[in-house]
Structure 1
Amino acid sequence: MEELLRKLYEDAQKEILSADSLQQIENLRVKYLGKKGELTQILRGMGSLKPEERPVIGQIANEVREKIEGLLTETKNKIAQLEKEKRIKSEYIDITMPGKPYEYGHKHPMTQVLDEIKKIFLGLGFSIAEGPEIEFTYYNFEALNTPEDHPARDLQDTFYVTSDILLRTQTSPVQVRTMEKNKPPIRVISPGRVYRSDEIDATHSPVFHQMEGLVVDEGITMGDLKGVLNIFAKKFFGEDTNTKFRPHYFPFTEPSAEMDVSCFACGGKGCRVCGYTGWIEILGAGMVHPNVLRMSGIDPEKYSGFAFGLGIDRITMLKYGIDDLRLLFENDLRFIQQF
């Protein structure tokens, strides 16, 4: 048995010293010193030895175990050091090379425009109201004086979730919800995403952005509407901006109008941007229909109000001379950083 132990050590020594990976070292440890390893197998034969031989063989076995463990540890450390040095060389960084610059984000042009618009109206005493994008047909249509059989619904290409739930086609439902929860005076703007079933092209998208405004109080007139929107136009497009109002139709306002501003590109002389008319349409507006006030729990005999709505996407395209709506949705940093 003594010869078997010495032979075991010699074989183990040769294999350990020739190992070149940590996995091999682990495999050799299991092979020689594991619970089912070769040393254990030899020691199982100690029961056949004479009593006086057992202490001697036991001591030799312990020495063999310690020597093999020492070899394993020493070789493991050497291999680990070699692998570390190899990794350091492979991961060498040439500090003389120029670094890769980090690309910083940039505020989206639509966000910049919306921030500017909100700043103007907040300065006029408005507050910001928000509402759900998945809306009930009641708030999107009926409460805005557009009943189920109203012909104006034919103008809305709507994404329906169920027969009475839809993706809002405008931010006007926020106005209704605001009037239901608050008593006049009311002065709010409601920016947000809206949805209509359009094919996406240079001027249309099924998802776009609106901002609507609402004022309700005693004695509100069309003159107040024109005054507020004139201030907005001059603050946003420049102090030399002129405005004009054209009669129009919206089911939730009466009377209704569309507002044009003098072309900020040519100063009203006529150019490609304004279609050589000198004017650019930017929003729709009007006095809140008495039916809308009444359905929202506000007495139209005592209170009146005005509302307006504009497309953030369109205003952004006009302000920055962008000719393709799709550029606003691609999030290409090369495009966004220009603004």
Structure 2
Amino acid sequence: MLEKIQSYLEEINAFVPASGEEAEQFRIRFLGRKGIIPALFDTFKSLPPEEKKVLGKSLNVLKQAAAEKVETFKAGAGRASGQGKQEDLSLPGEPSPTGGRHPISLVEKEITAIFSRLGFNVAEGPEIEDDWHNFSALNFPAEHPARDMQDTFFIRRDPADPKADMALRTHTSSVQVRLMENGKPPFRAIMPGRVYRNEAISARAHCFFHQVEGLYVDEHVSFADLKQTLFYFVQELFGEGTGVRFRPSYFPFTEPSAEMDISCTICKGSGCTMCKQSGWVEILGCGMVDPNVLKNCGVDPERYSGFAFGMGIERITNLKYQVTDLRLFSENDVRFLSQFQSEIV
């Protein structure tokens, strides 16, 4: 009987059905009510105890092998019918769409890289500022329009004690004040960050935007240093041959002050809505740091001089990527943002 069991076991292990019908015939032949294995168990019952000890384990192995074979057939039939689809691991993976950096982040990173080549470090500060760092230390007089509610988002306003006022910063110049208060010259740093102003939202303006400001304070710093620094920046960012011009202006924290224009990158000087048909676009304000500002920050204006500048990153991004509506940068429209997905840096 042991030889018969071994022969059936070899047959079971070697059997591969060609169809579901053959698999069912196999089940009936070995495990059906009148099948081979039930018949062997009936014979097993009449054997003497000595033979049962020898054959019992082999008979159980035979039954288990047949049952597992049947279960394997059932699982295979299920996959063939789509109930348990088996993956083909040799197939290539499905492509996943890649994201990309926001255009504002791309331009901020590029601006930072350009100034870092000139030795400028990056400095940061809080977005909620007190009156001293946002206004007073920067030479803003008490009656300056920027202090009015229509221009500034105040968090706390105390007419009796303006020094206690707290507001969302209106520029990153406050970081310049903190830098000079907490260190010693020379200073050479840029200050990127988000700022807030109470302005009507349009294609050219928003109530929040991003700035990069710069500060260089040392002995014998001149306006010529400022002009050459910004000229180098423009040629690096917008390309060789980009026109640059400076116009006299006024800022409370610089004297003398200027606004810097570049030739319009959208219309190439022929005139468009971005440049207001002039062929030129103002991209930043700049000037020599006012001696009062240096004094307020604990820097000796008799020994040190410096220049400062500030630009809106959105304006730079408009010109670099020829985007005509500033609102696109904050609307999270995937159709717009997907245009920058290949520019991952």
Same fold, judged at TM 0.5 (above)? yes
Question: Structure 1 pair 87/287, CA: closer, same or farther in 2 (3 Å)?
Answer: farther
State the shift of 1:211 in Å.
0.4
Give the letter for the 1:298 counterpart.
V
How far the C-alpha of 1:334 sits from its partner, in A, is 2.8
| Distance in 1, Cα, partners of 2:149 & 2:244 | 27
Preserved contact between residue 106 and residue 333 of structure 1 (Cα < 8 Å): no
- Asked whether 1:138 is paired with 2:132, we answer yes
**1:129-167 residue CA offsets vs partner (Å, 9 max, x unmatched):** 000011111100001101333345349711111121111
CA contact 1:254–1:289 (8 Å) conserved in 2: yes
8 Å CA contact 2:146–2:152 kept in 1: the answer is no
Matching residue of 1:206: 207
* 189 and 156 in structure 1: CA distance in 2 versus 1, 3 angstrom threshold: farther
Structure 1 residue aligned with 2:259: 258
Which of 101, 104, 121 is the equivalent residue of 1:107? 101
- Taking the TM superposition and a 5 Å limit, the aligned residue runs for 1:22-101 are 90=83, 92=85, 101=95
Partner of 1:21: none
- Is the partner of 1:337 in helix, strand or coil? helix
> Partner amino acid for 2:108?
L
How does 1:10-21 map onto structure 2 within 5 Å?
A: none
Matched to 2:288, the amino acid is M
Change (3 A) 1:188 1:246: same
Task: State the partner residue of 2:180.
Answer: 179
On the 8 A contact 1:233/1:241 being kept in 2, the answer is yes
1:333 deviates by 3.3
Identity of paired residues, percent? 56
Q: Distance in 1 between matches of 2:265 and 2:310?
A: 20
Instruction: Call closer, same or farther: CA 1:90–1:273 in 2, change over 3 Å.
Output: same
1:7 corresponding residue in structure 2: none
Deviation of the 1:98 alpha carbon: 9.9
* Secondary structure of 2:319 counterpart: helix
Q: CA deviation at 1:181?
A: 1.1
Over 3 Å counting, the alpha-carbon distance change for 1:205 and 1:268 in structure 2 is: closer
Specify whether residues 335 and 97 from structure 1 end up closer, same or farther in structure 2 by C-alpha distance, changes over 3 A only: farther
Partners of 1:150 and 1:214 in 2: how far apart? 23
Distance 1:169 1:94, change over 3 A: same
Describe the shift of the 1:184–1:171 C-alpha distance in structure 2 as closer, same or farther (beyond 3 A): same
Q: Distance in 1 between matches of 2:242 and 2:150?
A: 32
Question: Secondary structure, in 3 states, of the residue corresponding to 2:339?
Answer: coil
The alpha carbon displacement at 1:250 in A equals 0.7
Match of 1:197 in 2: 198
Equivalent position amino acid for 2:307 in 1: F
The question of whether the paired residues in 2 share the 8 Å contact of 1:253 and 1:287 is answered with: yes
For 2:297 and 2:233, locate their aligned partners in 1 and report how far apart those are by CA, in whole Å: 27
Residue number in structure 2 paired with 1:294: 295
Following the alignment from structure 1 to structure 2, what is the Cα–Cα distance between the partners of residues 326 and 271? 18
Q: Secondary structure at the match of 1:338?
A: helix
Unmatched segments (≥5 aa) in structure 1: 1-80
The one-character-per-residue Cα deviations of 1:176-195 (angstroms, maximum 9, x if unpaired) are 00001111111000000011
Superposition CA RMSD, Å: 2.8
Q: Which amino acid aligns with 1:125?
A: G
Give the Å deviation of 1:275.
3.1
Q: SS at the partner of 1:294?
A: helix
1:296 and 1:152 map into 2 onto residues whose CA distance is 21
SS of residue in 2 equivalent to 1:176: helix
What is the deviation of 1:319? 1.3
Q: Is the 8 A contact 2:139 2:293 kept in 1?
A: yes
Deviation of the 1:330 alpha carbon: 2.5
> Which whole-Å deviations, capped at 9, do the CAs of 1:67-95 have from their partners, x for residues lacking one?
xxxxxxxxxxxxxx9xx979986564786
In structure 2, the CA distance between the partners of 1:117 and 1:93, relative to structure 1 (3 Å rule), is same
C-alpha spacing 1:156/1:178, structure 2 compared with 1 (3 Å): farther
Q: Deviations over 1:171-230 (max 9, x none)?
A: 000000000111111100000001112343322222210000001011111111111111
